[in-house]
Amino acid sequence: MPKSGGDRDIESKRHTLAHLLAAAVLEKFPKAKLGMGPAVEDGFYYDFDLKESITPQDLPKLEKRMRQLIRDGLETKGEKISSAKAKTLFKDQPYKLELIKDFSKDKKQLTVYKTGEVFKDLCRGGHTKKTSEINPEAFRLTRLAGAYWKGDEKNKQLQRVYGVAFETKKELEGYLEAQEEAKRRDHRRLGQELDLFTFSDMVGAGLPLFTPKGTVIRNELQKALLEISSKYDMLPTTIPHIAKRVLYETSGHADKFGDELIDVKSHYDEFVMKPVNCPHHTQIYASRPRSYRDLPLRYMESTMQYRDEKPGEISGLTRVRAITVDDGHIFCRVDQIEEEAKNIAKIIEEFYKGVGLWGDHWVSLSVRDPKNKKGYIGSDQDWDKAEKMLAKISKDLKLDTKRIEGEAAIYGPKLDYMFKDSLGREFQLATIQIDFAMPGRFKLTYTDEKGKEVTPVIIHRAILGSYERFMAILIEHFAGAFPTWLSPVQVRVLAVSEKFQGYAKEIAKSLKEANIRTELTEADETLGKRIRESETSKVPYTIIVGEKEKKNKEISVRERGKGDIGSKKFSTFLKSLRTEIDKRQ
């Protein structure tokens, strides 16, 4: 999206702060070699090549010096310079000399920006006129990290200092508070604490192993998708995890993913671990002659695909090598596109209401970058037609889409649903995409009512996208306290003492027979400790039984987040619980 004036102002301040950070580092470490220092979302960073290590204890000192430079009101001035002059100016900075060589090779104009007399940098610009325009209390140096020069692990690793910056101190404090809350909700920590997934060095980085409890969540999500999608006659399929490279060369994915493809060699053939699923589905369609009466054909599948992500980019469940994708492909006639796309939109709405994310979202009409059409497949005519169709569908459904250039997939424009979690972070999840290109590449056809062979259209749809990434989002959104229908354990049963363990077993048995995921604890610890453990485990309901409950054939119920909600007849509680689960509340 284009940046507003306010966005440009804060970006200029962040960029200037990156230069002030470099100035402060050079004062403390005069022999530092400078990498790059751009403004980024929420702040800035700068990379340094140092013999010494910058430590967390150095950050407050660097901050103090930066504040002094801000208050000095230093002017920022830029000038265009020649390659020869730039080389002289940065003769002791090898990384800058490399950039000068790169820019000169690409015939780019070189510019240098000076911050008073304390710092100069090879830079494209975008700064405050004076450092005093920056609020000295509205930034913070936050962390240190390693970063390969130019992002290439073959290059030397530099020391990166990150900072955040805002217009006001209040905004900064709000951001830092949100970051602390994000740490408490980190899916990597909660995933281990709640026993949802794990990783093993013997299995490999980016290859998560889901425990029985984590698998419950995955299965419940898949079950919900199947139930909702079946209302619209989506047909489950099953495809292998490998295919010959020619499949992806034909689809265009071999060029798109390049080095991310994982090759597999057998004794007899060579294969590729599938990076996407749609080419396989085209082969199910192509397996027999199709008539216009057969369409639409709606295939859906939750299956793994694989990409050789760089080790430095792998992170928890959000960036993995084995990706379980909720995928769907509808093969249809042009006159069927509108109805099919609208039905997918209905599936998206129903599913996201069930996970509590519907409402605080917006939809992007993601189209090609008109200035760079080389990265896309298909004719201009088909692209224009698909974009117009999605715009009409969006208008009919009152989606109030925002048109975003450059965000289309390689073979078609799409509607991307952007959802916010409880921390206000935004994620692109569901998508509806019209594809005129791939069916032609695979020579797919159907026979129309006049006996003529016609190329169908593919509508690609994803509801939750990647199960791994979606679970990471849900864990952090709910802080591990999932809705009852998704919770790995829905009820925990506690006896006040060993004397009432028999009654507790009866209650647990009845719950399990009603398909309620139930745990029964032994009465070998104090009741208070067992209640606290149930709360820490984020179990939605804890049933406690003792003498009174056994005598009255009742149960005492504690609800997560509410505490004791009183005694109830077991049948009354079970009916209410069953309704809550079935309605996915």
Distance CA 260, CA 194 (A): 32
Q: Could you tell me if 558 and 564 are in contact, meaning their C-beta atoms sit under 8 angstroms apart? A: yes
- How far apart are alpha carbons 145 and 332 in whole angstroms? 50
Residues 126 and 15: beta-carbon distance below 8 Å: yes
| End-to-end Cα, the chain, rounded Å | 35
Q: Is 253 annotated among the ligand-binding residues?
A: no
How far CA 224 is from CA of 103, 233, 432, 543, in Å, comes to: 53, 14, 19, 27
* Nearest residue to 94 via CA among 154, 47, 162: 47
Burial 87-126 (b: 16+ CB within 10 A, else e): bebbeebebbeebbeebeeeeeebbbbbbbebbbbbbeeb
Q: How far apart are CA 451 and CA 440, in angstroms?
A: 19
Which class for 84: exposed (0-12), middle (13-18), buried (19 or more C-beta within 10 A)?
Answer: exposed
* Cα dihedral 224, 225, 228, 231 sign: negative
**Sign of the four-CA dihedral 219, 220, 224, 225:** negative
* Distance from C-alpha of 515 to C-alpha of 304, rounded to nearest angstrom: 28
CA–CA separation, 159 and 350 (whole Å): 47
Structure tokens at 518: 């139930």
Residue 474: count other Cβ atoms within 10 Å of its Cβ.
21
193 Cβ neighbours under 8 A, 6+ residues apart: 480
Q: Which residues are 257's β-sheet partners? A: none
Q: Which residues contact 439 (CB under 8 A, 6 or more apart)?
A: 282, 331, 455, 456, 457, 458
Q: Give the up-direction half-sphere exposure of residue 138: CA atoms within 13 A in the CB hemisphere.
A: 18
Q: How many CA atoms lie within 13 A of 579 on its CB side?
A: 6
Q: For residue 460, say whether it is annotated as part of any ligand binding site.
A: yes
Torsion of CA 412, 413, 415, 416, to 10 degrees: 80
Chain center to CA of 29: 38
How is residue 133 annotated by DSSP? G
CA distances from 47 to 12, 165, 175, 428, 571 (A): 18, 17, 23, 30, 64
Concatenated DSSP letters of 392-446: HHHHHTT---EEEET-SBTTB-EEEEEEE-TTS-EEEEEEEEEESHHHHHTT--E
**DSSP per position, 491-533:** EEEEESSGGGHHHHHHHHHHHHHTT--EEE--S-S-HHHHHHH
Residue 278 assigned as binding residue: yes
* Residues 459 and 432 sit within 8 Å (Cβ to Cβ): yes
Q: Is 319 helix (H, G, I), strand (E, B) or coil?
A: strand
Could you tell me which residues are annotated as the binding site? 278, 329, 460
Which residue ranges make up the annotated binding site for Zn(2+)? 278, 329, 460
